[in-house]
Structure 1
């Protein structure tokens, strides 16, 4: 049987994504029994305050703000988007054909710059062009429909980061039939700092899975939240402080008289903020760690 979950207030819009198997974070046994809703909400609120207090003014927070951490899409499609449903299918299925030689040599590192911030910059290692291409082209080249890459070169792109919009080195892949290239950020994100507070399993709900987007005005964030297949919709609450915004995810319980399989669903949840996120650290109450963008893989994470 499913364990009982607790509900906390949260402004959200949820969109179903998919279901997958889980172990410790499954809908059956991945949560602690909390008794009633108010008790679970109190636990989450207390934990959020602890996480915020640990991060605010810490060396970890300073290191996070000094690094390069993408908060937006690291892949940008050609200007105007893909031309057809067939091309969209090829992109989703990662069916690419390479009709050009990839560059033999490229810089080992390049600068990420933040215009308008005193020309701040940070030198970051670059992902090799072959590795970048293979991250896009994981499907079968002989399968149709497919996208054909006719050229690859090093360029740059604009990307939302934890320090604001940056100009980032990027691999530019020219696609057959397109006037502008597909861009993939080439700079390796900075290593996440060691969090000043340990993760906990003593609160209801599940960790936030990933960041999807930050609104252009910074007044909302969209994340992927989890909930068991026997449970109701996920809810995400936020505690805002001067230096951070701490997200705590829970689920709305629903009675289930049958056996619950070890599966969880992923749903996108949009959470409104009272103040723009800016350079505040977006944190997860369960893990005590920053919530990273879905396309960002930090060094050593």
Structure 2
């Protein structure tokens, strides 16, 4: 069966959704670290990190892996890990309303001015290979309530008036690759822009740690990763200083900390000898990559950033949207 466009509306009983995280008894996480060449990086059965910063990163990664395991344990079964990508915007805001409407969306200022569709029947959870299980699909009112649940001050902005909703799907990039989830598309008064919200109930979502505070030792956040055919080497893409000699360039290495359920990754700068030169460097970041090799294949494990505890997506940068709720 050919796969329709993510924007195509589907009847209630034919809904496609994301990769399933099957919850089974959690095995105690065994933390290991590996990385690319550079001081403190380790591979395979090499010794654990020995520098102070590496030890701090290993300890923080262990706490993050524990929190992620707890998030899986408390989520419903089956559950879907979409990270913070629960909403998307389709189209560009018109100049006359763009500033107000974007702020209203980000702060949850939406109000329905017309009846919205009820919950459809059970949907189907599928991954990229079209395998999956049945799942519940929430009503448009419930999806809108999730969007307005983050309502906060917007300095007097005008509410977005929701005029209708239709059941559709949206593509979400995750550590497992691009997956398709059921979503409600909301139409708005006075604009051609529509807003999408995942139609999976909160009980069916993995609630990854949201109280994770960055620390100076965390390094840079990987924006995405690619996986080698063997499934053990991750190529992390990030924005850093240029790959060039001299005071304006920088060297980096990656680290990975593994458990049975997830892999935490970090990108850290390798110190260079001071040049003693006073020079002004460009503030423009360069796209860089580093590799980390895992002890075993990634499989269905999530890849998390040590910086913020959120998923690192496979293949390309994540979609930017409002905070997940």
TM-score (norm 2): 0.46
Higher relative contact order (CA 8 A, sep 6+): 1
